[in-house]
Structure 1
Amino acid sequence: MRMLGLVALVIMLCAGACTSAPPEPARVADHTVDPSFVHGTDQGETDRLAATVVTDAQKYWAMQFPATFGAPWRDLDGGFFSVDANGTGAPPPCAGDVHDIEGNAYYCATVDAIAWDRSALLPVLREHYGDASVAVVLAHEIGHAVQQRAGMDASGGAVRLEHMADCYSGSFISWVVDGHSEHLHISPEQLDSAMRALTVFRDPVSPNRTKDTDAHGTAFDRISAFQSGFVEGPRRCADVTGKSLAAPAPDNPNMPLDDAMRTDHVSAYFRDLVARRGGQWTPPVVRAAPGCPEASGPAAFCAQPPTVVVDRAALSEPYRSIGDQAVTTLLVSRFALAALTEMGRPTTGAEAGKQIACLTGAYTAAQPALSPGDLDEALEIVLESDAVSRDAHGTNSLTGFDRVAAFRTGAVGGAPACG
C-alpha cells in the first residue's frame, strides 16, 4: 500500500474554551460545486469547498498536463472520500479505520483516490488560515496524482515527492490568483494566510528527517517549492531536488532574549558587505526606544546618526511565539537597511523593501551552523511581520509572499543575488 499525504499535525490555536465565536473563514468560492460525487459527504459547507477545489484543480490539469508531460490528463479513477474521523463509518481507501485519517488528507496511489478529514483537518484550516489553505492542501494531494500519471516514483526520496507536490500546488494556486479558475478566487491576503499553513505542517526537526517515509521537509523547503511552482509554473517542478538549504541537524534550545539581541556578528557581516561594494560602514548604535520619528515596530533604523532602536518588550512576543531566530531576523533587517543607506542605494519604496528582505535572507543563510529550525523561524517572521521589509520611512509595500520570495533569493544566492 502506498500512501502519500499531508500528515497534518493539527495545531489548535484556540486551546480550551474560547470566549468568542471564531471569525468567519476568508472565503475563496462565491459559488461552490455540489459534493454529491464525493463518497461519504455530509453535503456541508466544508465538503462543498473541497469538492469545488478538486473540480477546478482537475480542470487546471486537464489543460496543463498535456503541455507539461505530453500526454492527456485522466481524472481520478478512485474518486474522492470525505471522512468524519470521529465517526464509525467505513474507512476510505489506504486506511484500516476511519480514525487513521484524523487530522489528515492523503492521496492513495493504489486506487487513485484522495481522502480528507472533514471533522478536524479542513475545519481547522478554514478557521485559522482561511479557505485558501484548503485549496493549497488539496491541490498538494492532486499533485501526487500528477506524479502518479507522469510515472514518477520515490527513487529521489520521499521529501522530493512532497516538495514536487507543493510545487504543483503552487502552480495551480497561481492560476487561481490570476483569475482563470471557474469557481475560486484568492486575494494576496488570503494567499499569505494559506502559506502560513505550510509553515505549520512541516517536519519535526530531526537529523533523520529526510529519511522518514512521511517526511515533507522544513517550512523553508515547502514554501520554496510552492513559490517555484507559483512563479515559474509546473515545468519547474521536475527540477525540485528535495535537498534542504540547512543541513539536517537537531535544533538548539532558544538562547536568552538578550543574547538573541546581540548584533556583533550582524554588524561585522554588513561591514564586510559594504566594504566590498566600495562603501564606508558606520556601525549603528543599538539602543532602547524611543528613537527617531520614523522609528516604528519592534526594531527600527534611524539614519542620523546611524541607530537601531529596539523595543525589548515588543521583541519578546516573536521570541516567545516563534523563537530566538525571529528576533535576530528582525534586527538583521534593520542592519540591512543601514547597509543600503551606506551604499547609497534607494531606501524607500517597494524595491527597497525587497532589497532589505533579500539581504536579510543572505545573512541568515551565511550564519555558521544554521539549523533547519533556525531557518524556519526566520522564514516564519518574514512571512508574519511586515516589520522585516519596512523602509526608511517605516512603510511596508510588500505582501508576505513578496517578502518571502525576496528572502529566499538572498538565502539561496547570497548577497550578490540581491543586486
Structure 2
Amino acid sequence: MSAPPTRATAECQNVSKSTCRSRMSAPGSSVTSASGWRTCSTTVATTDARTTIPDAAWRRAFARAPGTRPGSSTPSRRHWFRTVTVPDAIRPVRVRRNRSPAGGRRAMMCRVSAPMPRWVAVVAAVVVAAVPVLLGGACSRVVPGDARAATAPATAAISAVPPTGPASEVAATTVAALQEFWRQEFPAAFGREWTDITTFAAVATDDPDATAPPCTNRAADLADQAFYCPAADAVAWDADGLMPLLQDRFGPAGVVVVLAHEVGHAVQTRLGIDAAQERGPQRYPTILLEAMADCYAGVAIAHLLEEPVAGLPLGPAERDDAMRALVGFRDPVGVEPGDQSAHGNAFDRVSAFQDGHRDGAVRCAEMTVDNRTFTQRRFGSEADLARGGNLPLRDLLAFVEDDAGRWFTDLAPGRDAPRLSSGGACPPERLATQGPAAYCPDDGGVAVDLAAIEDVHREIGDFAAATLVAGRYGMAALDAVGTSPVGRPAGAGATCLAGAYTGRLLEAPDGFRLSPGDLDEAVQVLLLADWVARDAEGASDPAEHGFERITRFRTGLLDGPAGCLPGR
C-alpha cells in the first residue's frame, strides 16, 4: 500500500523506538490515530520466517512445502529448501531475462533467480509467438491480421526423453490432449482447420550429450524453461528440472497450465498476428500476447475439467492449483505494462485465464490494447519503493480504518462506520471462526486477531491483510443495508465488496492507494483460504474454491458496489 507522508515518518527517523513512541503520543500530535493503531514503522519485525497460524484452514493450505527433485535426497540446483508454514507458490519471484531462442522473432525466455534464500526459484518461461486473425466461417467478427497456417505435417512429431516420473507422464498426456482439443475447438471457434503442432520436445537438460531442442544451441539452454518457437512450430520444455518442480509444487495442474499456455502461443501463430504486429507493434505489446496465451490456457483447462482425460486428474481444486502456478510466474513488482519483457502481474494473468475459461477462445482472440486493462504499475515514490510497497501492519490498519470507514458511510448513509479493534461485543471464539478479521453483528464493529493478521501481512504482504479487513467492512455494509450477514449470499457479497473497495484504491489519484504488487497479494489470499467468503458465523460454501472467490472479487473491482449490493 502507498500512503501519504506523515509527520510520524519524518519525526521517527534516526531515533530510538522509545523516542519515536513518545513523539507520536505527545499531546497535540497530528499522527496519533483516534483508535490508537498507528505506531512507528521501526517497531514492526518481519524477520521470522516460521510462524504458527492458529486457523486450521490456513495451516492446511500451507501444508505443501517444496521437496527435492524426484529420485534425489538432496535439493536440486533450481530451488532451495527450508521448513515453512507458507507455500512457496505465493512468494514473489525475481526473473532475469534470458536470450531468445533462434527463429523466434518475438521469443522471450525467463529464468527465475533467487536473490534471497527464503524465496524459491521457479518459473516456466514463455516464448511469445504472436498473431491476429481473420475470423471466418461461423464467426461474425473480424480481428485485424493475415490468417495463415503454420507449416506443419498433419500429424505432429513428438520427441521426448523416456518418462522418468509422474511429471513426464503428465506432460506426454497433456500435449496429446491439447492437440486433440484444438483440432476440435479451433475450427468451431474460428472457422479454420487446425494444423497440428510440428514438434513437442521434452528435453533432458541435465544430460550434456542431449540433442539441442529446436531454436536453441544446446539442451542446457532450456534449463528451468518451456517455450514455443514459431520458426520451428515447436513446443519444448525442461523435463529434468522444470516439470518435476511444477509437479511437486502444484501437482499435475502446474504441468498442464504451462503447456497449455505455450500451445496458446501456437494458436496465436495459426491465427496470423505476426503481420499485424509488424505493421503496428504498439498494438500488440508482449503483455497483451501473454494475456492471450493465458486466456487460451483457460479455454483448454475448462475443456479438460468438463471432459476428463485419463491420467489428468483435473477438478475445481486442481484448477486453483493452475491459477497458483500462474501467480508463481508473475512479473517482479514494479514492472510496467509497457516494459518489453512484461508478462503480467498475478491479477492480470489470472484474469485472462478466467476470461478464457468462462467465455471461450473467441474472447481471447478479440483481446486488444483498447479493451484490455492491465493493472501493473511502477512505484509512485521512493519511499514506497524502499519498503517494497508494504506499509507496517499498524500503519496499514490505521489507514484502512479511516479510508474504509469513509467508504462504508457512502454505502450506508446515516450509519456509523464500524470501529476497528482487537475485540468487540462478540465472544472471541465466535470471532475466531471468521479468520484473522471478523465482523461482529452485536456492535457492528470489525475485529482483528493481531497475531494472525500479522502472519498474513508478513508471509504474503500488506494488501492480503487489507483484503481480509475490507471483506469484513463489506459484511458490515451488507448488514447496514438490510442484507443478512449470515448465509452464503453474505459471504459472496463480502468478497465482491472487498473487490469494490480495492477498485476504489486502484483509482485513487493520491493519498492512500494501491502499490505495485497489492493486487497480486489479494489474489494470493483469495486462492489460499476462504476467510473473505465466510459469513458472520464463520461458515462458507464448501463447494466454492479460489476460482469463484476471485471471480466475485473481480466483479466488485470492475463494476463497483452496484455489482455486489442488491438493488443498488
Determine if the alignment matches structure 1 residue 295 to structure 2 residue 434: no
Match for residue 23 of structure 1? none
Counterpart of 1:264 (choices 402, 407, 412) is 402
Q: 1:342-361 alignment to 2 at 5 Å?
A: 342-361=480-499
Contact 1:203 1:209 in 2 (8 A): no
Structure 1 residue 409: Cα displacement: 0.9
After superposing the two structures, state which structure 1 stretch, 231-240 or 280-289, moved more.
280-289
| CA 11–60 in structure 1, closer or farther in 2 if over 3 Å, else same | farther
2:409 maps to amino acid: R
Counterpart of 2:529 (choices 385, 389, 399) is 385
Match for residue 338 of structure 2? 210
Structure 1 residue 85: Cα displacement: 2.5
Contact 2:337 2:376 in 1 (8 A): no
Counterpart of 2:270 (choices 146, 149, 156) is 149
In structure 2, list runs of 5 or more residues that go unmatched: 1-102, 120-155
Match for residue 177 of structure 1? 305
Structure 1 residue 288: Cα displacement: 1.5
Counterpart of 1:400 (choices 546, 549, 556) is 546
Match for residue 283 of structure 1? 417
Q: Secondary structure at the match of 2:412?
A: helix
1:415 maps to amino acid: P
Determine if the alignment matches structure 1 residue 410 to structure 2 residue 556: yes
Deviation readout 1:107-165 (Å, 9 max, x if unpaired): 01000000111122111111111111111110011100100001123431111111011
Match for residue 89 of structure 2? none
CA RMSD of aligned residues (A): 2.4
| CA 410–146 in structure 1, closer or farther in 2 if over 3 Å, else same | same
After superposing the two structures, state which structure 1 stretch, 340-349 or 215-224, moved more.
340-349
Match for residue 235 of structure 1? 362
1:286 maps to amino acid: L
Counterpart of 1:70 (choices 191, 210, 221) is 191
Counterpart of 2:350 (choices 223, 240, 256) is 223
Match for residue 375 of structure 2? 246
Deviation readout 1:333-367 (Å, 9 max, x if unpaired): 11000000001124233332221111101111211
2:273 maps to amino acid: M
After superposing the two structures, state which structure 1 stretch, 230-239 or 246-255, moved more.
246-255
Contact 1:220 1:376 in 2 (8 A): yes
Alpha-carbon distance in structure 2 between the residues aligned to 1:288 and 1:178: 45
Structure 1 residue 371: Cα displacement: 3.2
Contact 2:334 2:376 in 1 (8 A): no
2:375 maps to amino acid: A
Match for residue 201 of structure 2? 81
| CA 14–160 in structure 1, closer or farther in 2 if over 3 Å, else same | same
Structure 1 residue 8: Cα displacement: 5.5
Deviation readout 1:299-331 (Å, 9 max, x if unpaired): 111101112121111111121111111111111
Match for residue 317 of structure 2? 189
Q: 1:80-159 alignment to 2 at 5 Å?
A: 80-88=200-208, 89-153=210-274, 154=277, 155=281, 156-159=284-287
Contact 2:308 2:314 in 1 (8 A): no
Alpha-carbon distance in structure 1 between the residues aligned to 2:173 and 2:501: 42
Determine if the alignment matches structure 1 residue 52 to structure 2 residue 196: no
Alpha-carbon distance in structure 2 between the residues aligned to 1:4 and 1:351: 45
Counterpart of 1:312 (choices 433, 447, 450) is 450
Structure 1 residue 13: Cα displacement: 12
Contact 2:233 2:266 in 1 (8 A): yes
| CA 289–391 in structure 1, closer or farther in 2 if over 3 Å, else same | same
| CA 15–205 in structure 1, closer or farther in 2 if over 3 Å, else same | closer
Determine if the alignment matches structure 1 residue 274 to structure 2 residue 412: yes
Bigger-Rg structure (1/2): 2
| CA 259–387 in structure 1, closer or farther in 2 if over 3 Å, else same | same
After superposing the two structures, state which structure 1 stretch, 140-149 or 393-402, moved more.
393-402
Alpha-carbon distance in structure 1 between the residues aligned to 2:219 and 2:213: 7
Deviation readout 1:263-296 (Å, 9 max, x if unpaired): 1101111211222xxxx42322222248434312
Q: Secondary structure at the match of 1:351?
A: helix
Deviation readout 1:191-240 (Å, 9 max, x if unpaired): 1122111111011123545322x421111000000000111111111233
In structure 1, list runs of 5 or more residues that go unmatched: 17-35
Match for residue 323 of structure 1? 461
Alpha-carbon distance in structure 1 between the residues aligned to 2:221 and 2:503: 38
Counterpart of 2:391 (choices 247, 251, 255) is 255
Contact 2:503 2:557 in 1 (8 A): yes
Q: 1:22-41 alignment to 2 at 5 Å?
A: 38-41=158-161
Q: Secondary structure at the match of 1:281?
A: coil
Match for residue 363 of structure 1? 501
Match for residue 112 of structure 2? 9
2:206 maps to amino acid: N
Contact 2:228 2:263 in 1 (8 A): yes
1:191 maps to amino acid: R
Alpha-carbon distance in structure 1 between the residues aligned to 2:117 and 2:319: 22
| CA 404–346 in structure 1, closer or farther in 2 if over 3 Å, else same | same
Q: Secondary structure at the match of 2:357?
A: helix
Alpha-carbon distance in structure 2 between the residues aligned to 1:402 and 1:12: 34
**Identical counterparts, % of pairs:** 39
| CA 96–133 in structure 1, closer or farther in 2 if over 3 Å, else same | same
Alpha-carbon distance in structure 1 between the residues aligned to 2:545 and 2:163: 35
Contact 1:8 1:104 in 2 (8 A): yes
Q: Secondary structure at the match of 1:82?
A: strand
After superposing the two structures, state which structure 1 stretch, 222-231 or 192-201, moved more.
192-201
Contact 2:331 2:345 in 1 (8 A): yes
Structure 1 residue 392: Cα displacement: 1.5
